[in-house]
Structure 1
Amino acid sequence: MSGAAFVQVLRRRWLALVLCVLAGVAGGLLLTERTPRVYQADARVIVNLPAASNVTQAGQGLQLTAELLPSYAELATSRLVATKVKDALGLPESAETLRRRLSAEATPQTLLIDIGAQDGDPVRARSLANATAAALADAVRELQTGRAPATAVTVEVIDTAITPSTPVEPRPRYNLVLGLLLGLSAGVALALLLDALDRTVKTATQVEEGVGAALLGVVPKAKGKSRLVADDSSASAEAYRALRTAVRFVDPDDPPSLLMVTSPSEGDGKTTTAVNLALALARSGVRVVLVDADLRRPSVARTLGLEGAVGLTDVVVRSALLEDVLQTWRDELLVLPAGALPPNPSEIVGSQGMANLLGELRDIADVLVVDAPPVLPVTDAVVLSPQVDGVLVVVRSGKTQRAATAEARRRLNGVGATVVGGVLNAASTSTAAGYYATYRPVQSGRQRGAAPGPATKRRLAR
């Protein structure tokens, strides 16, 4: 995974990352709150060597004592010394329990031993450290019994312990940093795991792999309830204008004049895309006819506030004339509603009457935008796709499954349909911003790798 892809994953899964970091910090604070306070007091003793009669004996004695010094440190935490401390202070704890609260360390290159004692009470910690230092000196003296005083090794307390003012446990700063790092690590791991388990389409690469063609546009998630955004100044409106440009330049030598808009599944936003794309094309000076070919759940007329009782089906079955059912929206867009819902939608869109209707519409418009049903639930879009110049597949970010997108492409390719590109709908702000920040020449399904060129408007005789 590249660095940019990794950052995109974290941006998509920012909530999981933030929650894990907060949980880690909360855990560090909770650990600090729940950890009992422990104080440590330290005393220092020195190991005295016997007097030497010459330099050689002094060097040998010093070397021997340095080698034995770690043993004296171990003796400080032995059961023998712990028992002496217990008896001296009259403590209720067992010697074994007391041992675990004592520590001793020999300072390298010296004859010094640092003795530490921990307790929840700072005064008791001081008493333990001083009592342990005294008990060590007493134990060493007992071990030297039988030796002449001039040759005996002794231990002397040189620094008595003082009452500690601050505890050694808990460590708030350490716990907080540790919790932050653990939370961050867990958040990154969870973000990567969630992204790996998520089989929906979310990125430009996933759209292109799914539809088998270039991504022509990324539409950010709309903030308002209105489905008509192509005539305002929002980010969604700009996305549809960019999509209009991409569609017109998808193949400079042969731009599609009959474009079908569909999606793998329902709820992906195909109708919203078709309507806004048609409006964006119409506002560029192109004569556009928007056709509602979704004969199962038509919504173009409702979206534009037009009458949808008669329309496409009536013309195909020859119960009405095209000029009688073709409507104008705001004097800039021609709209052909779906009309009455037939019992056999697939047969209607695949009939010769439908082909004749599309041919007639080609003669009165520069561009036809056809809103078709989704590919997977019904066969209407697959049946209609060979009759159009290109198919635009709309997928919804975070909803459309990658497997569904691939299956829709397989079905369209199976009938020889030309998929010119895909649209990522309802994308996050970061995804949309990243796409347009790296906007590049469009590669179409019909001519991948083609560089954008000037558009050639084709206005047929009316």
Structure 2
Amino acid sequence: MDIAELIYPLRRWWWLIVLATVIAAGASFAVARQQPPTYQSRATLMIGRTIENPNPTSVQFSLEEQLAVSYANIANREPLRDATMEALGLDWLPEYSVTAVPNTQLIEIVVVDTDPQRAQIVASEIANQLILGSPTSTNQADVERQAFISQQLDTLQKQITDTQAELEDLSQLLGELNSAREISDTQNQISSLKNSLASLQLNYANLLSNTEKGAINTLTIIEQPHVPTSPVGSKMLVTVGLSAAVGFTLAAAAAYLLEFLDKTIKTVDEVKRLIKAPILGYIPEIPRKEDRWHFVTNHPRSPISDAFRNLRINVDLLGVETKTIMISGSAISEGKSTIALNYAQIATQANKKVVFVDGDLRKSKMKEALKLEQDTGLSTLLNSPAKLKDVVFTLDQRLTIIPSGSCPPNPTELLGSEKMDRILTHIKGMADLIVVDSPPLFVTDAAVLAKKVDGILLVVQLGKSRRDTVKEMMVQIERTGTSVLGVIINKISSGSNYYSKYYGSYYNIPDSEQNDADISETEIENNPQEPGVETDATSEPPKDEMKPDPEIILNEQNREISSHSEDVPQGRNPKLRGLLTFG
């Protein structure tokens, strides 16, 4: 699978993706614009006072980081939230978050509110509630206890200082003594003072650990919350961008899901992979307002007619015997009958005598297309002793139509009979090309007809022909042993058609001018200049001779056609008579 196939769902459903993206972005933009401005107030607390210690340990830092995470979790729970609302007399709190700053002993409190003062008050109270729930509480009992500890620390500090001074004096005296007894007594005094100093220092450390200065599990506000003066960014662009991305992603996923559920053929490369045959023609979609059955006759200079003309040339250039061609497809409503009849008409423009055989004996559309009044046709020839001249119609001197006739009870057996072989053999002697319009190849009638023709042209419509039916069609064709001449891609977009882009301006000629050109060419063919007669290029014929009387030309052409088809009855409907005239 190449890149083109991967992005095909996005290209096919681009309008859905664009629409979903625009709607998502527009809706989020409209909602974001209606939101009032928001303000943010922030407070920061620190666990312990290790940062003030000149010789901190990693154990202290690790413990304080764990305590910060615990306090942050407590602040985000209901008890602290309720305590904050009760303290402030509020029924609700604005949006806030309490997080532990990674790898630090800091706790950050952020409050976002449409009221800047309320944001500051709530941030301050949340910090206060955290402190009240910690050993750093400021109630009266704790204050008195801290005062007592401070007094004891001061006393111990003075005793330690005095002891250290006395030790220094004794150490100096020891160096001046000569008596052994005095030296021994002094050493004993020094040893006693050292033990006393160690005891005093231990007591001092124990008392200091119970104060805020020495405790690890304490909270201190290092950043007071302030009243914000300017709103924080609304992040409108981020919101709109994320909404657009979500809309795009969902629409793209829906496009791929639709393509997964859709089993039809999407690309020409997929046609080439399923059908091992060349693409011989790309036929644009015929406008609905036009007569699709006789389009190449009514509009011979249009890009669509040129596409049929290119199809005819490509078939001729195959270099194989293609006197009998069957045009079929994998399913109904793929346009095979329209292509078959127009292909037969375009072949007559190459001065070929063409016989169009409607081989769809079950659900033929030719009676409706040609407005036939009787039900005689191919089924009549196969099921009765009728003669060929009794069932055929002529559209012009070079195109003969054999309609399907009424639906027989046994169409498969009739199409596979020897009489069908004799009919085709007889027709080959009358025409340069036989175009057989067959049922879809999932019908057994088509398989029977396929054995009797020189080759098959398969019609595929992108977005309609299904992969599974095309695969079954190829299996059926392999069983018949008939060669596939090529593939016709029907109803392609006119915007991607080469003929529409390159020849569009050349063929964009009014119908009146086209008819005048056709009449002039007819006059030249029917009235060639006689040898030896000179004409003056500058002379102008009289105005009444500039353009022959159309009524005279029609009568002359009708007489000429009648002389070539004495045994063939003409169509009895107005469209057939018109085609007889302008063939």
Please list, as runs of the form range in 1=range in 2, the aligned pairs for 1:234-245 lying within 5 A after superposition. Answer: 236-245=304-313
Distance 1:312 1:72, change over 3 A: closer
Q: Using the TM superposition, give the Cα deviation of residue 162 of structure 1 relative to its aligned residue in structure 2, in angstroms.
A: 1.6
Q: Do the aligned residues in 2 keep the contact of 1:211 with 1:393 (CA within 8 Å)?
A: no
Counterpart amino acid of 2:244?
Answer: L
Report the 3-state secondary structure (helix = DSSP H, G, I; strand = E; otherwise coil) of the residue aligned with 1:230.
helix
Q: 2:464 aligns with which of 399, 408, 416?
A: 399
Q: Using the TM superposition, give the Cα deviation of residue 258 of structure 1 relative to its aligned residue in structure 2, in angstroms.
A: 0.7
Distance 1:182 1:234, change over 3 A: farther
Counterpart amino acid of 1:185?
Answer: T
The alignment's TM-score, normalised by the length of structure 2, stands at 0.59
For 1:173-229, what per-residue CA distance to the aligned partner results, in whole angstroms no more than 9, with x for missing partners?
Answer: 333222222222222233223222222233334434544433333434443153233
Q: Do the aligned residues in 1 keep the contact of 2:296 with 2:342 (CA within 8 Å)?
A: yes
- d(CA) in 1 for partners of 2:97, 2:474: 73
Report the 3-state secondary structure (helix = DSSP H, G, I; strand = E; otherwise coil) of the residue aligned with 1:244.
helix
Q: Using the TM superposition, give the Cα deviation of residue 434 of structure 1 relative to its aligned residue in structure 2, in angstroms.
A: 9.7
1:194 alignment counterpart: 258
Q: Do the aligned residues in 1 keep the contact of 2:39 with 2:231 (CA within 8 Å)?
A: yes
For 1:271-296, what per-residue CA distance to the aligned partner results, in whole angstroms no more than 9, with x for missing partners?
Answer: 11101222222224433222212222
Distance 1:209 1:113, change over 3 A: closer
- d(CA) in 2 for partners of 1:436, 1:415: 37
Distance 1:78 1:216, change over 3 A: same
Q: 2:332 aligns with which of 238, 253, 266?
A: 266
| Cα RMSD, aligned residues only | 4.4
Alignment partner of 1:371 is 2:371? no
2:378 alignment counterpart: 312
Q: Using the TM superposition, give the Cα deviation of residue 127 of structure 1 relative to its aligned residue in structure 2, in angstroms.
A: 1.0
1:174 alignment counterpart: 238
Counterpart amino acid of 1:201?
Answer: I
- d(CA) in 2 for partners of 1:31, 1:381: 62
- d(CA) in 1 for partners of 2:380, 2:47: 111
Alignment partner of 1:417 is 2:489? no
Report the 3-state secondary structure (helix = DSSP H, G, I; strand = E; otherwise coil) of the residue aligned with 2:41.
strand
Q: Do the aligned residues in 1 keep the contact of 2:72 with 2:107 (CA within 8 Å)?
A: no
For 1:324-365, what per-residue CA distance to the aligned partner results, in whole angstroms no more than 9, with x for missing partners?
Answer: 544332555332223454443223322333222222222232
2:98 alignment counterpart: 103
- d(CA) in 2 for partners of 1:50, 1:292: 100
- d(CA) in 1 for partners of 2:369, 2:33: 58
1:230 alignment counterpart: 296
Distance 1:41 1:286, change over 3 A: farther
Report the 3-state secondary structure (helix = DSSP H, G, I; strand = E; otherwise coil) of the residue aligned with 1:101.
strand
Higher helix share: 2
Q: Do the aligned residues in 2 keep the contact of 1:76 with 1:133 (CA within 8 Å)?
A: no
Q: Do the aligned residues in 1 keep the contact of 2:42 with 2:110 (CA within 8 Å)?
A: yes
For 1:414-462, what per-residue CA distance to the aligned partner results, in whole angstroms no more than 9, with x for missing partners?
Answer: 23222222333334568x659999xxxxxxxxxxxxxxxxxxxxxxxxx
Report the 3-state secondary structure (helix = DSSP H, G, I; strand = E; otherwise coil) of the residue aligned with 2:481.
coil
Higher relative contact order (CA 8 A, sep 6+): 1
1:448 alignment counterpart: none
1:282 alignment counterpart: 348
Q: Using the TM superposition, give the Cα deviation of residue 136 of structure 1 relative to its aligned residue in structure 2, in angstroms.
A: 6.2
Counterpart amino acid of 1:421?
Answer: G
Distance 1:322 1:4, change over 3 A: same
Report the 3-state secondary structure (helix = DSSP H, G, I; strand = E; otherwise coil) of the residue aligned with 2:288.
coil
Q: Using the TM superposition, give the Cα deviation of residue 260 of structure 1 relative to its aligned residue in structure 2, in angstroms.
A: 0.6
2:6 alignment counterpart: 6
Distance 1:8 1:68, change over 3 A: same
- d(CA) in 2 for partners of 1:372, 1:205: 26
Higher mean C-alpha deviation, range 26-35 or range 365-374: 26-35
1:131 alignment counterpart: 125
Larger Rg: 2
- d(CA) in 1 for partners of 2:286, 2:26: 35
- The number of residues matched between the two structures is 422
- d(CA) in 2 for partners of 1:405, 1:179: 42
Distance 1:401 1:88, change over 3 A: closer
Report the 3-state secondary structure (helix = DSSP H, G, I; strand = E; otherwise coil) of the residue aligned with 2:119.
helix
Counterpart amino acid of 2:308?
Answer: Y
2:54 alignment counterpart: 59
Counterpart amino acid of 2:310?
Answer: A
For structure 1, which runs of at least 5 residues remain unmatched after alignment? 53-57, 438-462
Q: 1:383 aligns with which of 448, 456, 473?
A: 448
For structure 2, which runs of at least 5 residues remain unmatched after alignment? 155-207, 214-218, 502-583
What percentage of aligned pairs have identical amino acids? 28
Q: Do the aligned residues in 2 keep the contact of 1:202 with 1:398 (CA within 8 Å)?
A: yes
2:315 alignment counterpart: 247
The alignment's TM-score, normalised by the length of structure 1, stands at 0.73
For 1:126-182, what per-residue CA distance to the aligned partner results, in whole angstroms no more than 9, with x for missing partners?
Answer: 21123345566776475994456998558455554224653677x543332222222
